[in-house]
Amino acid sequence: MQIRLDKYLADMGVGTRSQVKQYIRKKQVLVNGSLPKGPEQKVELTDTVSFQGQVISWQEHEYFMFYKPAGCVSAGKDNYHKTVLDYFPENKRKDLFPVGRLDIDTEGLLLITNDGDLSHRLLSPKKHVPKTYFARVSGRVTEEEVQKFARGLEIGEKKPTLPARLEILASDPEVSLVELTITEGKFHQVKRMFEAVGKKVLYLKRIAMGDLRLDESLQTGEYRELTEEELEKFKQGTAQ
């Protein structure tokens, strides 16, 4: 596949499209050891492209773990709110998107990638990739409710929810701290499950998707690339 040199460099995060055009004009970029004709020159993805003496290899797909803060939307574009992609610098490739959605007031793990196949597999209702949430909930969550969540709840869909694992971390009459693992992704699912037992979710944070756990050293609004090991395990978990 061939691609314009300036796009190649911009997609690989060397700079914005206009910055990389400057770099090319200032002779800071080589293609297979030679000076390119200009930013519009086409390169093969297997060509050796270097910038300031450093080889910039082509990466087809990129995968980032993002710690979504409350107050931003998961959609790619939104005219009224900040979006998760606004937390990525301008020089990142333009085809990144969030896999799935979290509500505007939900925090936590969101995978940002340009890998459409992986996203499709992850979101497929047939796959049942487990998603684990930490929640602060109004009132005392009981063992009886743990059983109800395990059996499945009526939340106004055609079928009850699939069995979910609810773990009580702490509870008093006013508020409970829980971890909940669900294997579906229905609209507002966690909030609706607690509503079905007369409780309100006061705070919600996704802490894991499949084998991928939110890196607690990240602050809200920060992201980092997945390690190869994380990516391998994660892909295996979504392959079947």
Q: Which residues bind ligand URA (CB under 6 A)?
A: 102-103, 106, 188-191, 204
Q: Between residues 201 and 226, which has the closer beta carbon with respect to ligand URA?
A: 201
Element (H, E) at 237: helix 228-239
Nearest approach, Cβ of residue 239 and ligand URA (Å): 24
* Helix or strand run (H / E) with residue 177: strand 175-182
CB of 89 to ligand URA, least distance (A): 25
Catalogue the E-assigned strands of 18-106: 29-31, 42-44, 49-51, 54-55, 63-68, 72-73, 82-83, 97-98
Nearest approach, Cβ of residue 135 and ligand URA (Å): 9
**Catalytic positions:** 103
Task: Tell the smallest beta-carbon distance from residue 180 to ligand URA (Å).
Answer: 9
- Distance, CA of 41 to CA of 38 (rounded, Å): 6
For 100-152, the three-class secondary structure string (H helix, E strand, C coil) is CCCCCCCEEEEEEECCHHHHHHHHCCCCCCCEEEEEEEECCCCHHHHHHHHHC
What is the C-alpha separation between 157 and 13, in angstroms, rounded?
43
- Pick the closer one to ligand URA by CB: 190 or 214: 190
Whose Cβ is closer to ligand URA: residue 29's or residue 137's?
A: 137
Residue placing its CB nearer to ligand URA in the complex, 5 or 204: 204
Short-list 141, 132, 139, CA closest to 183? 132
